[in-house]
Structure 1
Amino acid sequence: MVTKQHLLEKVRTQKPLIHNITNIVVANFQANGLIALGASPIMAQAIEEVAAMSSHADCTVLNIGTLDHANVLAMIIAGKSANQKGTPVVLDPVGVGASEFRKQSIANILREVKVTIIRCNAGELAALANVDWQAKGVDAGEGQLDVQNVAEQVAKQHNCIVAVTGVKDTVTDGQTTFQIEGGHNLMPLITGSGCLLSAVTGAFLAVADGQNLQATATALAFYKQVGENAAQNAIAPGTFAVELINSLYSFTSEDLRDNMTIVENTGIQL
């Protein structure tokens, strides 16, 4: 099994090309974060070129933060191209519960594209599973949810990995489930921290040699520690955003600690 240290070193050595179809709010932040990490970003969403871009990329990341009909079609085309090449696809269903258009768009993507991982927050997970939840725009919102159980069921339904971020992260393929401790309370106070995590996860998947569950859990474990490290030099959200990029650049494999555990599968059906 690949180790956390080995995966981080592989990202920085191999410099995987990550094709992002993302939202206008975070595109620059995602690109800079990937460069700082050691990966190579490409931010292309024109329908005329997305298939070619994904065919060249080592991973494709689809983010619906500021979507329209053309954008959704581009994601489906790019996702199918990645599927044909056999490279991972990360789906970030930003604010999927905020509107019917978002729900239908995610349903269309999941129907047309074989995604490797759905990277979401608890509110987005609830929307994917049709669980009652009080969303607030694209933020996580509030509600009661057995995150582990629902994540396991969604993973089984879509035959993919589900990674749910929060105070404690949950990563599951429906059979094996990891929980990850750590992070910092400044992380949700900057726009795009979750979106950047989806791209970082894509970089780890790109060098995982098929060990996708381990790579996903490793990416989330790494990112929580990067956030903690960034907070040591930040006094407020504005400086934290800069320090998060700096920490992605400076955090080494020797800095990594073991902050994830395997938990028992619930075995509960929704």
Structure 2
Amino acid sequence: MEMLKKACDGLSKIREKSPLVHHITNYVSVNDCANITLAIGASPVMSDEIEDILDLIKIANSLVLNIGTLNKRTVESMIYLGKEANKLNIPVVLDPVGAGATKLRTGTSLKILQEVKVRVLRGNMSEIKSLLGLSGNTKGVDSTEKMDDAEDVAILAAKKFNCTVGISGEVDVISDGERVVKVFNGNSILTRVTGTGCMVTSLTGCFLGAGCDGLTSSTAAYLIMGLAGERAYKESGDNIGTFKVRLFDEIFNINEDRLKEGGKVEEC
């Protein structure tokens, strides 16, 4: 399968190049995002101070923007750094955490999408639908939305925002506006660990930083998190703390053979 092969190639590139992934992310999951970036083979930097980030972005290979714990200062930094990244042709991934839950989150996400050229937009169903002006169901920053029309929503969002869109769900759906890819890997226990979505966004940034296109980067990130989640659950069962440790172990040890053996990807 072509996409599975591209994911394997991308993983090799990450471990060969160790791209520097700059994050402006939320303080709930910042440590996990840094560690997942290291686990896959890339290098993280986490800074949101304007006087600091201008120099850092010049040596970065990709930029992750995550509005999970947004405030006026970090929003200003996100837009400022996103524009600088665009000038330097550094790919940007945006995670609009909680879009649809509050006017501030929805408005901030749309403002970033308007002012910054985003390569990948990654969120859950309710977040993506809210950015399209469609009704969505949220519970805090989590989605309670069904995935029945995920393909149509992903295509519509990709065309509207001119980027690849990844929608998390029981089946993850990714589209660049023309092609659609589905990832069937995963385990429901992943939803019981804070920040797994944020970590998928960081993994997306790692693949982008290694030179992969948006569709490959988003697909590979979902695939690796889902497969690692499956394998970690087999080792830990319902022990949530053990599961999280095992999850990092599995991502650290993921390789081409495991991806080819366990990857469940469908290209539509």
TM-score, length basis structure 1: 0.93
The partner residue of 1:250 within 245, 250, 253 is: 253
| Residues 126 and 145 in structure 1, CA contact (< 8 A), matched pair in contact too | no
Measured against aligned partners, the alpha-carbon deviations of 1:202-231 in whole angstroms (never above 9, x if no partner) come to 10111135x332232122222211111111
Aligned mates of 2:29, 2:155 — CA distance in 1: 29
* Aligned residue in 2 for 1:225: 227
Work out the percentage of aligned pairs sharing the same amino acid.
36
Residues 1:48 and 2:51 aligned together:
yes
- Calculate the aligned-residue CA RMSD, in Å: 1.5
AA aligned opposite 1:66: T
Q: Residue 254 and residue 67 in structure 1: after superposition, are their counterparts in 2 closer, same or farther (change >3 A)? A: same
Measured against aligned partners, the alpha-carbon deviations of 1:240-262 in whole angstroms (never above 9, x if no partner) come to 11111111111111111341111
* Aligned residue in 1 for 2:31: 28
Gaps of 5+ in 1: 264-270
Aligned mates of 1:93, 1:52 — CA distance in 2: 25
| Residues 224 and 251 in structure 2, CA contact (< 8 A), matched pair in contact too | no
The partner residue of 2:214 within 201, 209, 212 is: 212
Aligned mates of 2:148, 2:54 — CA distance in 1: 37
Aligned mates of 2:42, 2:112 — CA distance in 1: 25
Aligned mates of 2:216, 2:247 — CA distance in 1: 23
* Aligned residue in 2 for 1:133: 136
Residues 1:167 and 2:170 aligned together:
yes
After TM superposition, the structure 1 = structure 2 runs for residues 75-154 of structure 1, keeping only pairs within 5 Å, are 75-142=78-145, 146-154=149-157
Aligned mates of 2:78, 2:53 — CA distance in 1: 8
AA aligned opposite 1:226: A
Measured against aligned partners, the alpha-carbon deviations of 1:101-140 in whole angstroms (never above 9, x if no partner) come to 1111111111110000001011111211122122111011
* Aligned residue in 1 for 2:240: 237
Aligned mates of 2:22, 2:199 — CA distance in 1: 13
Aligned mates of 1:219, 1:142 — CA distance in 2: 22
Aligned mates of 2:142, 2:95 — CA distance in 1: 13
* Aligned residue in 2 for 1:268: none
Aligned mates of 2:86, 2:111 — CA distance in 1: 15
Q: Residue 144 and residue 5 in structure 1: after superposition, are their counterparts in 2 closer, same or farther (change >3 A)? A: closer
The partner residue of 2:179 within 167, 176, 179 is: 176
Aligned mates of 2:225, 2:94 — CA distance in 1: 18
| Residues 14 and 207 in structure 2, CA contact (< 8 A), matched pair in contact too | yes
AA aligned opposite 2:91: P
AA aligned opposite 1:223: M
Gaps of 5+ in 2: none
The partner residue of 1:259 within 255, 258, 264 is: 264
Aligned mates of 2:39, 2:145 — CA distance in 1: 33
* Aligned residue in 2 for 1:4: 7
* Aligned residue in 2 for 1:202: 205
AA aligned opposite 2:164: I
| Residues 127 and 136 in structure 2, CA contact (< 8 A), matched pair in contact too | no
**Equivalent residue of 1:174, what SS?**
coil
Deviation at 1:145, TM superposition (A): 5.3
TM-score, length basis structure 2: 0.93
Alignment: residue pair count: 262
